[in-house]
Every structure is written in C-alpha cells, then in structure tokens.
Structure 1
Amino acid sequence: MDPATGAIGSLLPKLEELLGDKLRKSVRKEVLFLKEELTRIQLALSDLEDVPADQLSSQIKGWARQARDLSYDIEHAVDRFLARRLRAADPPAADPSEIFGKFSSKVAITKASARFATDIGSFRQPIMELGGRPDRPNIAAPRAAGELVDPAGELVDLDARVEDLVKILTEEKEQGRLKVASILGRAGVGKTTLANLVYQRLNQQFKCTAWVTVSPKPDIKNVLWTMLCQISPQDHDDFGSFNVEETIGEIRKALMYKRYFIVVEDMWDVKAWETIKSALIENGNSSAVLMTTCKVSIARSSGIYRLRPLQKNSSRKLFYRRLFGSGDSCPPELADMSEKILEKCNGIPSAIIKAANLLAGKTQEDWHTVLESNNLADSYDTRSRYLSYTGVPRHLKSCLLYLSMFQKGYEIIVDRLIWGWIAEGFIPEHAGTTVQQLGEEYLSELMERKLIEAVEVDAGGKALSCRVNDTGHDLIVSLSTEESSVTIFNGRQGGPLPQTVGRLAIQGNNLDLPTQVRLSSVRSLVVSGDANLFSEESGGTKLMPFLSKFENLRVLEVGGCDSLQSDHLKGIGSLYLLRYLVIEGNCITDVPKDIGYLVFLQILDLNATSLKELPGSIVHAKQLKCLRVNRHTKIPHGIGKMKALEELGDMNISNPELLKELCELTDLRVLRIVIWSWDDSYDDALLSYLGSLSRQNIKSLSILTCCSLHVLDDLDAGQAPPSLKKLEIRHSTFLSLPGWICSLERLSSLCIEVYKLSQEIIDILGRLQNLLVLSLTSKHVPEGNFNDGFRNLTCFHFLSNAVGRIFGPGAMLNLKRLNLSFQASHTKDVFHGFDFGLENLSSLEHLSIEIICFNANLRVVEDAKDAIRRAIYRGRSRGANLVISRVREDGIIETAKEEDMVESEKEQDIIENEEEEEETVIKQEKQKETKKMKKLRIAKKKFRQKEKGTIRKYKIVSLHLRSQTLTLQAL
C-alpha cells in the first residue's frame, strides 16, 4: 500500500499550491474536489499500510494500484501545466523584455491554462468511481486493534505477560491517576500482538477506547484526527478542517469526563509523543494509555515493560507447535535441522513462524534438499527482512523499494541516491531543515535497521556509497514487483513486461526493450550496462529511440553505457518534467542546448563525462539545486542567475568574472572549484569572493589547483566564512598556515599542504576545538610533535617524505583512524629508524600505512614494516586493524646479495622458530614425566599399609615410566 500512499502524498501539496494561484473558478472547483477525494483515499490507504501484503485481498490490492496510477496521472497533468507556465514565463530562446516576447508569453500561458482545465476535468469521473467502489476500505471506522492479530499470537507464555500489563494499567496505587505503560522491544518480538490482547481484555472496562498507529515522521494531524474519529465517531465528518491545536482541544473535550483506554502503536518520535500526550487529559477517572515502541528514549517517559526475544526452549516450543502440532515433540530425523533453523531465528517469534510456514508439509528429503541448497537460509533471511520491511515507517518504504532500480551488488553513490529520492518526491520539505539533510536522516535510519550497508565511508565515518546485500536485494525486488513499484528488465524475465510501468530499470548488455511497454507512464529510468537503447534512424544517425516518448520521465540515470554518444541525447529538452539527470560516458563531449528547457531539473550530474562546455541555456534551469561537471568543463556566464543552487562542482575558474557570479548564489552550501591557470590579476577577485562567503551560509569549500595560492594569506580573519565546516585546498603549498584558518570555529574537516610542518603550525591546528578530520601534507621533513591539542580529532591523514617520532604520551586521545604515508629511505636517513610513537595512540581502531619504496633497498622497507608491527603490538591499541601497503615498488634498489641476505635471514628465522617449537615440546614432555613420578610416589605410599594386621616392607624391583608399571618385592 505504501507506494500508493506515497504517490498521493507527493500530489496533495501540489494541489494545495495550485489553490493558492489565480485559477478560473471552474478549475479551482475541480482542483478542490480532487484534493478532498484524494485526502479521503489517502486515509483509507493509511489504515492498510501496516497490514502484510499476504493478508490483503486481491481486490484491495487492485484498488490501491488504481489509486496510485490515477494519482500519477493527475500529477502528470499538474506538472505539465506548471512546466508549460514556467517555460512560457522564461523561454530560453526568447527575450522576455521585448514586446513580442511578452505577448507570446501571455498567449502561451493562456493556452496552458485552457489545456489544464480540460485535463483536470477529465479526472472527476475516474476518481468518483474509485472512491465509490465496494472494495474500497472503510475510512469512517478506523482499524480495530483486535482485527489484525499477527501470527506471533501463538507465542508461548503470553498469558502471563498480558496479566502483567493488565495489572500495571488497572492497579489503584494512586486513586484516579492516569496510567501510562510502554511495551519496549525490537521488531518482530510481538509488541503489537501483546498490545492487541491487552486491548481485547480491557476495552469493555472503559467507556472510551481508541487505537492509533504512528511513524517516525508522522502526520500528527492525521494521527490526532484518527483518534478523534474513534473517540467521537458520530461527529467525524467535521473534524477534517481542524488544525492540530483545534483537534487536541476537541480530544480533551471529548475525554473530559470519560474513563478512557488508548493504545498508541509504533511510536518513534519524541516530539510526536509529547503532542499526543498533551491531548490525553488527566481527569481523575483511572484512565490508561498503552504504547509500543522500539525506542528506549521514548519508553523512559512512562513505565517500561520490556519484551525480549524468546529463550531457546520457548523458541523450540513455538516452532514445534507450528510444524508438528505439539510443542514438546519433534521427529528425531528433523531435530538437528530444527536446531539449526532456530539458531538463525534468534528468538524472534515472527521469524520462527515464517520459517515454520516455509517448511510445513515438507518431507525429510525436502528438508535436506532445501538445506543443502541454502534456500532455507535465504528464505529465512528474506522472510526475516520482510518482517523488518513491514516495520519500516511509510516514509521510508518508498525509499527502500527504490533501491531495486540498481543491480544486485551495485555500489550506489549515497548523495546520488538521496537526490533521486528528492526528485521522486519521497522526501517532503520541512521547515528548519533541507531536503538533503532529511534524506541523510532517512539513509541513516535504513542503515540502523540493517536494510542497507555502507561500502565506503569518508574520514569522518559518513557513508559515501552503500549497497543492499544479496538476500535483502532479492526481497526488495520481490516486494517492488509485488507492489508494481519497479519493473526490472534484464532479459531473464519469465513472462512479458506489464504495459504500464512506473519505474523501469534496464540491467545488462545488448538488450532490446519490448515494444509493448507504454513508455509515457515511466517516471524513472535507470540504465546500467551497455543496453541496446539505440536504433537506426533516417540518415544513419543513432538516437535514443524512446527519449521523446518518455514524456512523464522525472529521473534518468544512464551509467556504464560505453556506446553512449553525444548525439544520442538529442531531444532531451522534450522531457520537461525531468528532475534528475545523471549521464556517464567518456564519449559524451557536449549536451544539447535545449537542456535549458528542463525547468524542473534539480540535479544534473555530468561529472563522469568528457563534456567540454555547458551550453549557455543551462542558466534557465532555475530550480537546479545540484550541478556537477568534470574538472575541464567550461562554465557559461550567467551562472549567478541559478539562485537555487546548493551544490556546485567541479567548477573550472577560467576567468575572475565567474567568481563574482558565485557571490550571487546565496543558497550555495557545497562548492568545489578548480584552478588550472592563474594570473596575479585574479587575486583581487578571489579575495573578494572568499570575503563574500562570510555573508553566505557555505558549509564546504574545496579548491583544487596546480598553482600557488599565496594570495590566500592576505585574507582577513574577519572575512573568513564562519559557517564553514569543511575546507580542502589541494596541491597548493603554503609556507605558513594562513592566519584566518584559526578563526574557523566550526571547522570539522581540514585538508591542507605546507612547505615544512613546524611546531607552531601544529599548535595552531591543535586549538581548533571542533576539528574531527585532518589531512596534512608536509613537503619537507617536519619538525615538532602532536602531543598537545587535537582532543576531538578522530581521523588523521599525514603525508611527508620523512616522519619521526610525532606521537608522544597522551597524543590525540580520541584518534580512531590514522593514515600515514612516508618515504622509507629518507625516513631512515634522517631519523635513523622508524619510531613514530604509534604505541602512544590509545584509541586507535584502524591504521593504514603507506610505505613509499622509491630509492630504498628491500631491507629498509622490511625494517619499516617490522618496526610498525612491534609498535602496535606493544602499544595500547594492539587490537587496531593494521594495513601496510607499498607504493613505488619499481623504485626499490635491490641487489642479489641483499636479496640472498633477506632470504637467508628469513630461513634463519624459520630455523629459530622450529628450534623454539622443539624446546617447547621437550619442556612439555618433561612436565608430563614429572606428573607421572608424582603419581608413582602416591602409589608407593599406598603400598605402605597394614595387610592382615602385619606391616610389610617392599623394595622396588623394576619401574617402567612409559607404561606406569611398578613391580614390588616383599622384604
């Protein structure tokens, strides 16, 4: 149900926006009607969002799909109207200042409005039919708690838990006080099941009851509206117009004199809980509230009832009862396999039940076949992850299913993924935060749920790329197919593709897309592999045959398509609903001028191309938030008109005028500039721009250059951008540290190169309190140490031709990652060894050493490796992950004699190790013999006893230590 709910969710704000425009009365009436009907449909879908797909009828699923498709069709019409109006108001090829241009613009807007009136009116009948269908869910009666008991209802020991909670919620410790209890536990342990049973036990004892479900980013007005509909069902038709405060007031009024019991399911957000609590009045009638949550921080605000995974015996009893009808017995031939399955289930009831359902009715031979093929493990993992998916809040499910657009094992660039979510409308705008920040929160939450995993992280631990593991990917693909959310074409389909496709992923090489697919319905297209997307047109020129037919396309990503040529992009301007465009290919040297027609375009990534110059029309893409080109691409004048830009890179500064235009981009947060050539006449422009950054809210600045930028020393500390958190200046070497850097109080990441590192520079950097990541290069032998300061530094990259003892006791107490690069021969010559003080780094978790082998003999390189290993072994971080790599190995000076010496020493080490092992064995044998002698002495003592009242004496005749035989002869 979630894609359908999400589709309506992205459409409703657009309809709301239209109602604020100047529309004809008849058009406004139609828009208002659609908004009201879609709101009701969305509420109906919300009631179904937590119901597993296998518990929904095919009629309900069909109704939801029709609701989604109709929402998309309406959104297409709305977006087409908005796009035509925007293009008419600012045509790239015309001068609006001219009289004729203005007249043409007004005519175009009038035509667009007339066409929209026709389009929007055509949806009245379909939406009325959809809303009036008999299989439409009833939204006037919200879901009763007892109606959706999950399979975990068969849990063992559940009665005792119900009794515990009933007692907590009804006992009279404080007469009349409101009781609030929280069921706390991980996904799948049966929180909802337990809450359902408590609800069924208690609902007759209370005059007023309600059950509401919340999510991490809830529509709090909707939640309160649902609660109010259950508390006062006879008046619910009037509640839709209330705001949050009014709804809270109505709830408090309705509960004023009633004894009520309310269940709040799946609470994730502290602020939402505080808002809901404000509606739950303390009226002295012994009312009760029961909440389920996975968050300890929320549960702490009330009495916590912790629901833990099942113990092994309880897990076994549940599994046996599901499979064999009895919780106490299992066929002997299946016992071992049952134990293996239960180990994987980790005591999670729903996972145990899913696994039992999978194996129900199968023979012993079937079990063996499944286990040997690993299908059981895969199926368990898939079902377990399905459980995780059903627990994912609505706003994350669409983001998760979107990942099926990428091939199994594909490494997904994180920021591209987030921009894709934004373009799809999965991430709504919230006051006080950017959609990019909200997207990062979504990604973090999916990672916390173990649904996706980071592949590459930056120095600060932030994910740069991610992937879905194979089993999880299979699940997501399966769910996407089931929901008709994504259609994957890879040439291995068992049947034909559907005619209507919302999101299309073409994966593989030399594929021909089937002709039956209705391309006008496609919203997203991701191509990975050298797919056969081209056909011969008249004149012999290859074009993307379907480009103009994807008229409603919003996301287009083409990667790994080596045959893609610049000519294949002709006509891209016709895709005027496009929001996200990523093109990769070394053969792409230019893009069509009509790219400026893409008035909705938000992200344009051409970084992995050979693009020479961006067309001037790009400045008309007024909604563009992120622009990425390669380091050699020429940027046109007028870039300052693109006021929405938040990220720009890698911008080639070919003349100082471009720097002036950057000052006009007030929303810019991330900037990467490249300077290949520099003239002293540019100095003033650069200083002026950097000075203007103090008036902008820029967070990250990267400068890549092959020129000397000593002019930066002249920047005044008061002009330094106070909001800057990341500063990167590569390949420009400073004689001393620019003074303004120490004024960057928020700086958390710094990359800089100096001619010669000194203690003064180290001390200045050490005083940057928020510095977490430091990348430092010293071109010449450094002086000084890092013993003081750097209290919060967690990651340090240091490169120099020679490195001495730079870490003393107490240095960098919080450092977790260290990357150290040095030249072996020079370090040996200057410092006579490889003592860096690594043993003093107490918090180190990962150490990466890069030994530059140029002009060093093999013995020196080996000495360096041995010294580093010894330092880590005897230090306080001996458990750190150590990686030592050698670069410039072709520069090793190696003679036959030296090689023989190294080999001889290695052989000697082997001999010495063998001798040590032999000595150890001998020592162990001696210890065994000593123990045997002790046993013999005890035996001898026992023979010295009275026998038939006579004391006898014996002498030892023979002794066999190996067999432990003692022969005695009486004296």
Structure 2
Amino acid sequence: MAESAVSFLLQQISTFLLTQSTRLGGLEREIQFLKDELGSMRAVLKDAELKKDDDSELKKWVGQVRDVACDTQDVLDEFIMRFAHHHPDGFYGRVCNFYSSIKNIRARNRIYSKIESIKCRVKDISERHNRYRSDYDLSEKGSYAADVEDAVSHLRGNALLLEEDELVGIENPKSKLISQILDGSSNLKVVSVVGMWGMGKTTLVKRVYEAVNVKRQFQLHAWVTISQTFHMKPVLKDLIQQFYDEIKQPVPQQVESMDGDKLRAFVKDFLKEKRYIIVLDDLWKLDSWEAIKSAFPETNSQSRILLTTRIVDTAFGCCTKSNDYVHKMQFLSDEESWTLFCSKTFEDDCCPPHLVDVSRGILHKCKGLPLAIVSIGGVLASKDKSKVVEWEMILHNLGGDMEGIGKLESVKKVLLLSYNDLPWFLKSCLLYLSIYPEDRKINVEMLIRIWIAEGFILEREGRMMEEVARGYLNELINRSLIQVAELNLAGSIKYCNIHDILQEIILTKAREQNLVMLATSGDYTRLPDNIRHIAILEFVENHHDYNRFKHLRSLLIFGYRNQLNESSLSKLLSGRPKLLNVLNLRGAKLKSIPKEVFKLFYLKYLNLQDTGVEFISQCVGNLQNLEYLNLANTYVMELPIGILKLRKLRELSVFHEGDYSKNYIVRGFKAPREIGRLLSLEVLRSIDADNDETVREIGKLTQLRELSITELRREDGKELCSSLGKLTNLCELFVYSINEDEILDLQHPISPIPRALQLLSLTGQLEKVPQWLSSLQSLTIIGLLGSGLREDPLESLQDLPNLVEIIFNKAYEGEQLCFKAGGFQKLKKLDLTRLQQLKWVRVEKDGLPCLQYLIMADCKQVNELPWDIQNTNKLQHLGFYNMGDELVMKLQDKGSEEYQKIVKIPEIVIANWIDGQWDTHFL
C-alpha cells in the first residue's frame, strides 16, 4: 500500500505545483525536492512490499515511506485549505485580506515548519533506501518475478490439495468440458476455464485431461504451467520436451540455441498433421496467448487447447472462433460445501453435534470456495474436537489465523498473488472495500461515488469520472477479486460483494497500514491516531476524546445502537477532522445539521439519506469541494441560495418517497433561482418545476445523466422538451405531473433526441404517447404511470431494440393489449397494474421470446391467462395480485386447463390484499 500512497501523492503534487505555484514562494523548491525523492523510492516499493513480511527492518522502512507520503498529502491539503480562498472585491474584501494576511503569516510558518520536518524524514528514509537497494536486491525492475514464481509454487501445491479429495460438484462441469472437447469439430478448438482463485480450475481441467476417453482421442499430450511472469522460450521448450518424451526420442540439440521465432516454427512444424491436446494452466495475460498461439497449427486434426485463467477478459480473448468455448466456474452449493468440509475435517465424514454451529459459521465464510474449504478443513482436522473454543477462535479471527499456519497461509499467498498484480490505483479501490460490513451487498452507485470522492479515480480526458470508476470496478470483477451480486434486467451491475476470505485478508492488510478500521463498539480509543478511514458498524454514544480523528478522510456509520443526534455528531466532529472527504450518516435521527459539518472544507461526499433533517442553512455554501449531497427521504423541501456556490457538485438528491396523499407523486424540492449555474451536476433528483424559469434553467445543466422533475404543469411541457434537447448525456429521466389529473404535454419535438436515454418514467395523464419516444434506441426501461391512454401504447414501443422492462400502472383504458410478431425481442419483464378496463392480452406467434417475469395486479376483468403462456420458454416468475376471483379459481384448480398452462413455470405467486396486508400463496 506504500506504493499506492506514494503514487497517489506524486499525482497530487504534480497538480498542486501546477495550480498553486503563484502562492508557494520558497515552498515550491522544497515540495519539488519531496517529489523527486519519493519518486525515486516508488521505483522499488513494489518489490520491497513483497519482501517486507520476511524482514522487520524492511517492513519498518516501507511503513515509514507510507506514513511520510500520507503526512505530506495532509500538509498540501492544509495549504490549499488555508490559502486557496478568494475574498470579495471592495472595502469588505480588503478588510478580509488584511486580517487573513496576519493569520496567513503564522499559517505559512507552521506549514513551512511541517514541510522542513518531512524533508528531514525523507532524507533519512532516502539514505536507508539506497542501502536497502543493495542489501535486499531491490531494483527498479525489482525481483518481483522471483517472488511470483514462489507464489505460483504455492498455487500449484494448493491445486493438489483439492486433488487429494473426491471434489464434490465436479462431475457435471467435467461432463460438459469433455463433450466440448470431443464434439467432433475438425478445426483447432480453444476451451477456457475461468474463475477466481481456489475454485478448482486446475483440478477440473486435470480430471478432464486425464479422462480415458480424452486421452485416447489424441496422439500428443502436454501440460504447461504459464504463471504470472510469462516467458515464451521456456514454455515452448517445455512443450517440446513433453512431446519428445511421449514419442520416446531425445530432443534435437539445436532446440537449445533457438530464439523465440524459431521455437514457434519448430513446434508448429512438429504438430502439423498430428492430433494434440495441450493444457495451458494459469494463463494471466492475453499477451501471453498472443505470443505463443501461432505455434499451434490450424489444421483439420480435431486438436484442442485447454487453458485455465482467473481473468475473464483473457478467457474470452483466447476464445474468438465460433466453435471455441468458455466455461465459468461456479461456487459449491451449501450441501456440496458441507460434504466437502466434513470429508476433509472429520475422519468418519460426520460432524459431532457440539461442533455443528461453529463449523457452519466457519463454512459460511468460505462461501462455496473449494480451496478455502479444503484448507480450513485440513487445519481443523488437527484441532482437538472437544475444545470448541479453539474452533471459535478460528471463526472469529479467520484473517489473522492465516498467518503462519501452513495451509491457511497458502490460501493467503494465492490471493495476494492477484492483489500484488494490481496497479496501484486498483489496490486502493480494493482495500477500501474492507470498510463494508461482512455479508453486506455493496451498492455499486454508492461505491463509485465514494471512490471518486476519495480521489481513487484518475481523470481521463474525454471521459466522465463515473465512467472511469465503472471501468475500475469491471477490472476488479474481470480479475475475479469482486463478485457480481445482482444485475438489473439490462445487465448493469446493481450490487457487488467480496468473498469473506478475501475480505478478511484485505481488512487485515488495511489495518496493518492504518488505512481502514472497523469500529464495532463505542470504544474509539483503541483506534490508531493516524487512521484514515473509519466505518462504525454500530454507533454508541460515549465521551471519549475524538482528537485521534484529525487525520480522517472518511467516516461511515452503518448502524446505530444509540441514536446519533445533533449533539453527539458535534462531539464526534470535535476532533476537527478538517481533511474529511466522506461523511455517511444515513439513517441518523438528525433534525438539523450541526455547524461543525459546514467547516469541513474538503468534504466531497455527504450522505444524509433517511435522516430527519428538515432544512439546509446558507452555510452549505462553505463546502466548496462538495460533489455529492444526498438528502433523499428527508424533510427538506427547499434549498437555500448558498447551494449555488457549490460549483463542483456532481449529484444533488433531494426528494421524499412515500407521501401518498397524491397518487404517484414523489415530493421534490424547490430550487433557488439560477440553479443552472451548477454546471458540474450529473444527477439531479427531484426538482420541482414551480415555474417556467426553473424548467429553462435545467437546460443549462448539460452534464446531467439523471434527472427527476416533479410538479410539472401542462404549460411547462414545451419548455421541458426544449431543455431535454440540450441534455445530450441524459441516461435516466423521471417526470411527475403536479397531480394525477394534470396533463403531461410532451408532444413537442425534442431536438436533438437524447440518444443515451436508457430509463424513462412518465407519471401523469397523457393524451398520446410522445412521438419522440419511438426514437429512443437505447431505451431499456419504460414506465407509464397514471397515463390514462385510450390508444394501445405498444405501437410506439414495439420497435425499440433494447427495451427489457415495461411498467404500465393505470396507464391504459382499453380492453386489449397486443404484442405483435417481431416486436419486443429483448423484453424480460412486463408489469401490468391497475388496468381496470383490460380484458385480454394477445401475443402473436413468436412474440415476447425473452420474457422472464410477468406481473399483473388489479386487472380484475382479465378472466383468462394472457396467451398460450406455456410456450414462453424463458418465463421464470408469474405473479397475480388482487386479480378477479374467476381467474384465481381457475389457476388454483389443478385439473383446469389454465393450471396446466402454468404448471412448469418455476415460481407462481397469487396474492390478495386483505385487512391491510398481503395474503400470499405460491403454487
């Protein structure tokens, strides 16, 4: 992590010197010195961090480099906070400047003194740096390769751990792979097996490779381990050696002196007209495949290449032909996990009753990962079965127990192999995930916003920060370090999570470096003085000294044993965490925001969602660096003019859901005049359209990706359409009329059409479906609520190529909906609610081929199933809520024709609203 801290600092210094040069004076030379010295150290830090665990002196030096980088960043930020303020012109401005100049002399001297102190520390660290480069064989290129090869040997050993057992759950994927290999296709075929560390990729492929019916199909067989530090010549020579061993002949002498090109040509010539199977185990980079693939001839010999990798892009990048195949490894089920655990842990494969609960708890942390189950089972097998306390210690401190315990330490080394391969900015992003409680599904939108606020995301010219951050997330998923927990119907990631074993390890690593701490009780005195990120899992009121929080960059509270009110928040911030970037207070019972919050100059992320906050003061304008302000589900109804000072604001969410005094209406906020001055806004939820000027101002916010506008009147429609034509980046749009009887007049042309729009929700009366809607080629979700349309709205939607979800709620007053042949080719979810006049739903032949979810609610005149529903092959869920008695009786009668149509659908729900709650039945 020292490498990440120094790399981040060097980036910050470059920006600092560029933007603050006129204010620095003599400090510029000192800061440039720090940049040069730390830049020199960075070249060997990666190598040093790999070696530090074996030597206390080297570990101490790495820690000192990290600490001096963090302290330097603090001083630079303090300088900006002190000297970057601009005072107004005129007499008042001159007075402010006079008093500021007196204070600034003292502040400049204090900062200069701190920089001199850091400079002395850097000189001392630099002297040891030069000595360690020779003592520990550290170089700019590093001896990283040697350490990687050691780690790879651990990986191979762990693969054998799995092979010692009859690994459960392997037969089905084994059969699939064998069928792909023996499918009879004549051309060379590549089969990739991809999955995170420890999932049994090597075990599975070895079982396939050694299967009798596979062995006898091929003339030549070879297995090569590639590893992270790929070198082409040794790999090709290894292949040649195996080929000649198989034909029982010596390798020609000239092979030893061949260069890479000649070796490739030799292998290709040797394999020509032969049927071969080659395994490339643990392929990391696509470049490695590109370097050697030309050695494998594309003949009609039915030859096969099998490869294993933990990198998703590598797996698919190697399988580019139509007959190639990618197999994604799956975690073991709970039942399979228990079977494997018991077979490894207990001699008779049976868990003693008094160990069942603790064993289940340990197994839960393994989350179906075979290597973790086998490794932990092997450790527990040597434990005294009568001493439950020893087992509980492993359960409660699994990350720490990995240190120094052979098999568990091997699991850690396998994982760290992937971690060490990350670029420095991805290491920061991954370690930050340790701040989330175990088993918590992580909201991707929130995670991305916090990453940006923490400064982990590097700017890329021509790309929005959120786009870059999503690229980081996808890369961590691609490297099998983060798992996708939930996708939306359009295939975008809603929630992610991290494997418990990995989380334990990165949390331990983050603690070692005083980066992240989880506080599970009210005793905050145990936290290190220089801790940077704190997650309080359960806030407890206490009277401790909070001065140890002065280095904090983020404070997240996930739960409350004692309610956090204004007084307790003031105490929490009394330690002056003046460099705080992130403050998450979601769910706190605050009615107002203490003044201490508005003194946090560097605050970029402020989450007050689900609090009792009733108003925002003008002091919000002091938060000059604020980028994300979340006031969702609070009682704030109006924002002060001070909000217009927040020129860096990216997201402004102020709304309240659940106010059902008016049907369908989400309560928004009244914006100050000239809201269009917030030119950095990308997300705006939910602004009241209280006059033409507000709607016109929205058109100035050209960076908007998400917009929710409430209280729209009929006369505002033309101005809104004009503004929408200026929002070329818009991806999500929610429009709410001022009441359920008000017409949304959106028939006016929009030019240009917002081509990026993916989600559109219109709540209010519509005379017609807007003409421009049929041109939204990127649209994936459409919601029409309270529209009261008299003509079938499907005509305007059927040709939208990417539509996956339709929500009609009191949207149509006709008797029939017709899904025509050829339309809605990607539709996965259909929600028909409160269509009071609807009697039939017709689907023409081959219609709705991808439908997975059908929900009908309060459509009481529908007395028969919508169509020949049994022919909808992909339907997974069928839900009927408050439907007519006649239809419900048919569905519940197992002898009826209607029941026979739905009997094969996996999940069928019938529910009625009775006495204020749902009476639900599953067929």
Match of 1:850 among 881, 891, 906: 881
Please show how residues 911-930 of structure 1 align to structure 2 within 5 Å.
none
**Taking structure 1 as the reference length, what is the TM-score of the superposition?**
0.66
**Cα separation, 2, equivalents of 1:760 and 1:194:** 61
Match of 1:588 among 589, 613, 618: 613
Task: Return the offset for 1:545.
Answer: 5.0
**Cα separation, 1, equivalents of 2:325 and 2:484:** 33
**Cα separation, 2, equivalents of 1:308 and 1:701:** 36
Aligned residue identity for 1:798: L
CA 1:876/1:85 → structure 2, altered by over 3 Å: closer, same or farther?
farther
Aligned residue identity for 1:849: F
CA 1:31/1:190 → structure 2, altered by over 3 Å: closer, same or farther?
farther
User: Partner residue of 2:819?
Assistant: 786
**Cα separation, 2, equivalents of 1:57 and 1:195:** 29
The answer to whether the 8 A contact 1:841-1:876 is kept is: no
Task: Return the offset for 1:49.
Answer: 5.9
The answer to whether the 8 A contact 2:627-2:648 is kept is: yes
Task: Return the offset for 1:582.
Answer: 0.8
**Cα separation, 2, equivalents of 1:56 and 1:361:** 27
Please show how residues 264-663 of structure 1 align to structure 2 within 5 Å.
294=311, 295-299=314-318, 333=347, 351=372, 354-355=375-376, 358-359=379-380, 362-363=383-384, 365=386, 370=391, 387-388=414-415, 390-392=417-419, 393-394=422-423, 395-410=425-440, 412-444=442-474, 458-466=488-496, 474=504, 476-491=506-521, 496-512=526-542, 514-515=544-545, 518-530=548-560, 543-547=570-574, 549-562=576-589, 564-566=590-592, 568-584=593-609, 586-630=611-655, 631-663=667-699
2:785 matches 1:766: no
The 3-state SS of whatever aligns with 1:658 is: helix
CA 1:517/1:127 → structure 2, altered by over 3 Å: closer, same or farther?
same
The 3-state SS of whatever aligns with 1:806 is: strand
CA 1:494/1:190 → structure 2, altered by over 3 Å: closer, same or farther?
farther
CA 1:185/1:655 → structure 2, altered by over 3 Å: closer, same or farther?
closer
The answer to whether the 8 A contact 2:877-2:906 is kept is: yes
CA 1:785/1:519 → structure 2, altered by over 3 Å: closer, same or farther?
same
Task: Return the offset for 1:617.
Answer: 1.6
The answer to whether the 8 A contact 1:490-1:508 is kept is: yes
CA deviation profile, 1:842-897 (whole Å, cap 9, x unmatched): 22233333235xxx6xx5474164379978874599344333333356699x9xxx
The answer to whether the 8 A contact 2:195-2:480 is kept is: no
User: Partner residue of 1:32?
Assistant: 32
**Cα separation, 2, equivalents of 1:798 and 1:399:** 41
CA 1:258/1:761 → structure 2, altered by over 3 Å: closer, same or farther?
closer
The answer to whether the 8 A contact 2:44-2:141 is kept is: no
2:872 matches 1:841: yes
Task: Return the offset for 1:457.
Answer: 5.1
Task: Return the offset for 1:813.
Answer: 0.9
Aligned residue identity for 2:456: F
User: Partner residue of 1:881?
Assistant: 907
Deviates more, 1:97-106 or 1:143-152: 97-106
The answer to whether the 8 A contact 2:3-2:45 is kept is: yes
**Cα separation, 2, equivalents of 1:348 and 1:490:** 27
The 3-state SS of whatever aligns with 2:858 is: strand
Task: Return the offset for 1:370.
Answer: 3.9
User: Partner residue of 1:949?
Assistant: none
Task: Return the offset for 1:607.
Answer: 1.4
The 3-state SS of whatever aligns with 2:37 is: helix
The answer to whether the 8 A contact 1:663-1:692 is kept is: yes
The answer to whether the 8 A contact 1:182-1:293 is kept is: no
**Cα separation, 2, equivalents of 1:832 and 1:131:** 82
Task: Return the offset for 1:812.
Answer: 0.9
Task: Return the offset for 1:60.
Answer: 3.7
The answer to whether the 8 A contact 2:717-2:746 is kept is: no
The answer to whether the 8 A contact 1:737-1:754 is kept is: no
User: Partner residue of 1:251?
Assistant: none
CA deviation profile, 1:735-775 (whole Å, cap 9, x unmatched): 32111211222222221246556675312210112222222
Task: Return the offset for 1:194.
Answer: 4.4
**Taking structure 2 as the reference length, what is the TM-score of the superposition?**
0.69
2:197 matches 1:187: yes
Aligned residue identity for 1:669: R
**Cα separation, 2, equivalents of 1:484 and 1:654:** 49
The answer to whether the 8 A contact 1:184-1:305 is kept is: no
The answer to whether the 8 A contact 1:152-1:193 is kept is: no
The answer to whether the 8 A contact 2:745-2:766 is kept is: no
Aligned residue identity for 2:551: S
User: Partner residue of 1:127?
Assistant: 122
**Cα separation, 1, equivalents of 2:871 and 2:260:** 64
Deviates more, 1:509-518 or 1:187-196: 187-196
**Cα separation, 2, equivalents of 1:462 and 1:129:** 50
When Rg is computed on C-alpha atoms for both structures, the one with the higher figure is: 1
User: Partner residue of 2:69?
Assistant: 71
Please show how residues 877-956 of structure 1 align to structure 2 within 5 Å.
878-887=904-913
Task: Return the offset for 1:729.
Answer: 1.1
User: Partner residue of 2:737?
Assistant: 705
The answer to whether the 8 A contact 1:146-1:196 is kept is: no
Task: Return the offset for 1:296.
Answer: 1.6
**Cα separation, 2, equivalents of 1:770 and 1:305:** 26
**Cα separation, 2, equivalents of 1:819 and 1:702:** 22
2:807 matches 1:810: no
Aligned residue identity for 2:376: A
Task: Return the offset for 1:575.
Answer: 1.0
Task: Return the offset for 1:499.
Answer: 2.3
User: Partner residue of 2:722?
Assistant: 688
**Cα separation, 1, equivalents of 2:81 and 2:281:** 41
CA 1:200/1:865 → structure 2, altered by over 3 Å: closer, same or farther?
closer
The answer to whether the 8 A contact 1:500-1:517 is kept is: no
**Cα separation, 1, equivalents of 2:32 and 2:260:** 33
**Cα separation, 2, equivalents of 1:816 and 1:706:** 34
Task: Return the offset for 1:550.
Answer: 0.9
Task: Return the offset for 1:532.
Answer: 5.8
The 3-state SS of whatever aligns with 1:674 is: strand
CA 1:887/1:145 → structure 2, altered by over 3 Å: closer, same or farther?
same
**Cα separation, 1, equivalents of 2:642 and 2:704:** 20
User: Partner residue of 2:778?
Assistant: 746
Aligned residue identity for 1:851: N
**Cα separation, 2, equivalents of 1:489 and 1:336:** 37
CA 1:787/1:634 → structure 2, altered by over 3 Å: closer, same or farther?
same
Q: CA RMSD in A?
A: 5.3
Match of 1:819 among 820, 842, 855: 855
CA deviation profile, 1:343-363 (whole Å, cap 9, x unmatched): 999999964784377348544
Aligned residue identity for 1:34: L
**Cα separation, 2, equivalents of 1:543 and 1:197:** 50
Percent identity reads 23
2:830 matches 1:796: yes
CA deviation profile, 1:425-468 (whole Å, cap 9, x unmatched): 22222234322123334445556677666666544353444555
CA deviation profile, 1:143-183 (whole Å, cap 9, x unmatched): 1534451334547889xxxxxxxxxxxxxxxxxxxxxx999
